[in-house]
A and B are shown apart, each in its own frame.
Chain A
Amino acid sequence: MWRVGLVFGAVACFLSLAGLVEALHARWVVDGVLSAGQVLVLAVFVASGWTAAERSGWTPAGRLGAGVGSGATTGFCVGLLVWLAAHVNLRTMFINASPALFALLSGGRPPGEAWVGAVLAGGALGLVGALGQVAPSGLIRPVLVGLGAAVGLGLFQDLILLILQPEGFAPVRDWLFVAGGGPTARGAAVLFVISAVLAAVHPALRARPTRVLRLSPRVRRVFWSLVGIALLAALPLAGGPFVAQVLVIVGLYTLMGLGLNLEVGLAGLLDLGFVAFFAIGAYTVGLLTSTGEHGIAHWSFWAAVPVAVLVSLIAGVILGIPVLGIRGDYLAIATLGFGEIVRLLVLSDALRPWLGGSQGVLAIPKPVLAGFELSGPQHLYYLTVVASAVVAYVAWRLQDSRLGRAWMAIREDEDVAEALGINLVSVKLLAYGLGAAFAGVGGAIFAVMVGSVFPHSFQLLISIQVLALIIVGGMGSIPGVIVGSVVLIGLPELLREFGEFRFLVYGAALVAMMLLRPEGLLPAAVQRRELHVLEEQAEPALVAGRDAAAEGGS
């Protein structure tokens, strides 16, 4: 239990010194009472107690003791940090070790007193965590959900206020928020209660499906898909242009994710240069439609999209041919190289007369549909949704087609697949080509969304984000791609003001995800089976041995 306490102590000190606590301190969860920064520190203490209680296999009383001990240890670490800061100038090394931070951690008390206080408070909070571990889960879940909702209200207050802007919402707004400040105590409390109650009754509802109308499954499915469509269509109307803009970005990543999913999720071909195809799609549309100096054709967007898709597809095949025989990590680095080559070429001064170099391709007109210009994010949102739906449909049909089966076969074992008569070359090239084509669609929409294309928009970071989102969502699963891009792209966009810590949390989330749910949030059935088989299975080395045998036999 001391070890758990020390680990969490280190975590608390790290979060403080990295500036996260202080940054969140600027956000009220309850105006004037509790800030998000304080919530974060408290959460670390509670988690410390919770984990210690979980790990000690003792009696309930013993568990509570473990929680207290662990929490107190964590408190000791934080107290030590406060005490150190009072005697040594930590700021020469740690830029965020500001007086404000230590004022927050020590509650404004002198260091010695604060240290004792931190140990005591830590013990108490550890006890709370341990109680949570001991108490029946039916009680704990609602409380957690309620707390999550209340903290969410504080974190997303900007967005909520943006949605509540119209004068009609004024009463709700004033009830929930202090003018020009954070959530009111009553707002947070009511939200807590409502979500906790909902979470409490939710299992009961699930257990007894109240079917008002006995409908055939088919009609039900139609009904639900209509509800889904209505929700999708209503989202930007409710959320306004900013929410629509974020959704457009989520949609673009979904398109790319669907494409990469064919390569990685189905065919098992790792690709870290995927942004290249996105860039090719964007540049194709830019060059074909731009009214500026680099425009070559002044086509309409609709005429340029098929060309962009075709160019991306060809690019995918061309990039695919040289790496046909390369596997695994080598493939990762080779494709990463491709992505960088494309970015450097569009940026280069050598190609500047044609591609605009670092100044990019400008003046890309918005698409016009039936005489109406799709200008704002709210219009582009519908374009993106339609494009994503079409691409998702194509991807879904591909998955169950002969080709999809062939991809899965080469993912499992190339040699066996070949022995079964699958033409490796054409199957692989199709995976690269079709994946690239999907990304090309995304690039095309991106070009009209921004209205200009700059090489700097196509960093390696994007390839990595796309790979991460299909992994987090669940490899080889189409709904997984959508969930992944909402979680990894949408949420950080909505929390833009913490931009500095975006990738910190992002990195931690990737690692945590892989440790806790390696199959992803919404895994495909095959993947789920595979991963659980793997847990019992011996080392891949044995499989490799089997391969060698197979090869010898072929």
Chain B
Amino acid sequence: MTEGVGSLAAGALRRPALRRLNFVDAFLWAFRLAVILVVVWGTVGTLRLGRYTGEQWVDFVVFGLAQGGIYALIALGYTMVYGILRMINFAHGEVFMSGAYTAYFAAAPLAASGFLNQHPILSLLLLMAVAAAVSTGVAVLVERVAYRPLRRAPRLVPLITAIGASFFLQYAFRGLYGSGFKAYPEFELFKGEWQVLGVGILRTQAVVLVGAAVLMSALYQFVMRTKVGKAMRAVSEDKDVAALMGIDVDRIIVLTFAIGGAAAGAAGVLYALVFKQVHFFMGFVPGIKAFTAAVLGGIGNIPGAMLGGLFLGVVESVGPALFLDGLGIVAPYQLKDVIAFTMLVMVLIFRPQGILGERLAAKRA
């Protein structure tokens, strides 16, 4: 079971055996052409229909960017853990959920006492701290119980425990907090819109985008500039050699999980700021989307996660209206995930290292 990450199609397709089999190539070309045809035909059709105004297209993009900010926030944690451990932390979505859900129980009394709207920024930071603390706790616990003993097991084993942990956490929180959902209080400060460059953007969404950017640069600086960050990169390159160099690999891995968890907790509060509702299943779908975003951007790459998130958000928002409307498909937004996943597969086939490329993919090519 040896997997250098992303060894890949690009490489694979150069192999003689594959070249002999032209039907695979032919199929892939047909696939490419079909997708391009659908996109072009749909786009032309949509534009000819002229259903949407220019402002509406701008809105589509803005909404997409805002949703992409949410994906990016979660994807950052994914990418951190993947970069170090080479594993899908399938439970990352649940780590995100645990922080956001628990912080609600701090938000409700704050809102009831009126403190929330007297000191909104302070309250927001306070809630983020609560959520980050809980998420960090959960992430570290999951690492300790479900991943650490299995570090040398075949690849599939930690993936299964991750899935198990994901289920366990979902239903544990369901048992603790109930199966209904809670709704965060309104922050008066973040109601309404701001005008940025003549385009209206909702304040909550602006906060999310700024939050994601801040989080990304903080993580990036941390990994690139600090001693711990350097150790993380060393562990990610080669655990054994890092250990020989005197790095405490266990400690670094726990730290990675803790930081990824804290980021997920903070992301959870920002998510709740936009969507208000929290419940036990809230982490699952965004978790999958965020993983997709991380792959799109190039997994293990922090700016890539941000870019991948924004890209995915925009495609989901603009795609159905732009590509499918013109084909006369009814209810195109039901198929937005189809677009997202098709794009994921396309990226995996034709550019497996993701948009920003991954330094690790080059290792084996």
Measuring CB to CB, which residues of chain A are less than 8 angstroms from any residue of chain B?
14, 17-20, 92-96, 264, 268, 270, 321-330, 332-334, 336-338, 340-341, 344-345, 347-350, 411-413, 418, 423-426, 464, 467-468, 471, 475, 500-501, 503-504, 506-511, 513-515, 518, 530-531, 534-535, 537-544, 546-548, 551
Contacts and interface: CB of A to CB of B under 8 A. Distances in A.
Given A330-B295, A423-B17, A507-B165, A324 B12 contact: yes
Q: Which 9 A-B pairs have the closest CB atoms?
A: A510-B164, A325-B9, A18-B175, A507-B168, A507-B167, A337-B341, A325-B12, A95-B178, A504-B171
A337 B348 CA distance: 12
B9 A509 contact: no
B252 interface: no
B177 interface: yes
Interface residues of B, number: 80
Interface in B156-181: 156-161, 163-172, 174-179
B158 to A, nearest CB: 8
A540 B151 CA distance: 10
Interface in B121-165: 145-146, 149-150, 152-161, 163-165
Given A321-B27, A514-B161, A338 B345 contact: yes
Q: Which of B2, B8, B12 has the most CB of A within 10 A?
A: B2
Nearest to A336: B288
Contacts of B331: 348-350
Given A322-B31, A511-B146, A475 B156 contact: yes
Contacts of A544: 2-4, 364
A471 B160 contact: yes
A541 B10 CA distance: 22
Interface stretch (B39-47, B64-72, B190-198, B332-340): B332-340
A542 to B, nearest CB: 8
Nearest to A471: B160
Given A329-B88, A348-B335, A349-B330, A508 B168 contact: yes
B356 interface: no
A292 B298 CA distance: 48
B28 interface: yes
A345 B338 CA distance: 8
Contacts of A95: 176-178
A324 B146 CA distance: 30
B344 A333 contact: yes
A543 B28 CA distance: 31
Given A349-B334, A518-B157, A341 B175 contact: no
Contacts of B364: 544, 547-548, 551
B352 interface: yes
A270 B90 CA distance: 14
Contacts of A18: 172, 175-176
B298 to A, nearest CB: 11
Given A325-B9, A328-B3, A547-B2, A510 B349 contact: no
Contact of B6 (A17, A321, A330): A330
B162 to A, nearest CB: 9
Given A347-B334, A418-B15, A14 B348 contact: no
Contact of A337 (B152, B166, B292): B292
A551 B88 CA distance: 26
Given A96-B178, A424-B18, 18 more contacts: A14-B172, A325-B11, A325-B349, A326-B348, A329-B82, A329-B155, A338-B341, A349-B330, A350-B334, A424-B15, A467-B160, A471-B157, A508-B164, A509-B164, A511-B146, A515-B146, A518-B157, A544-B2
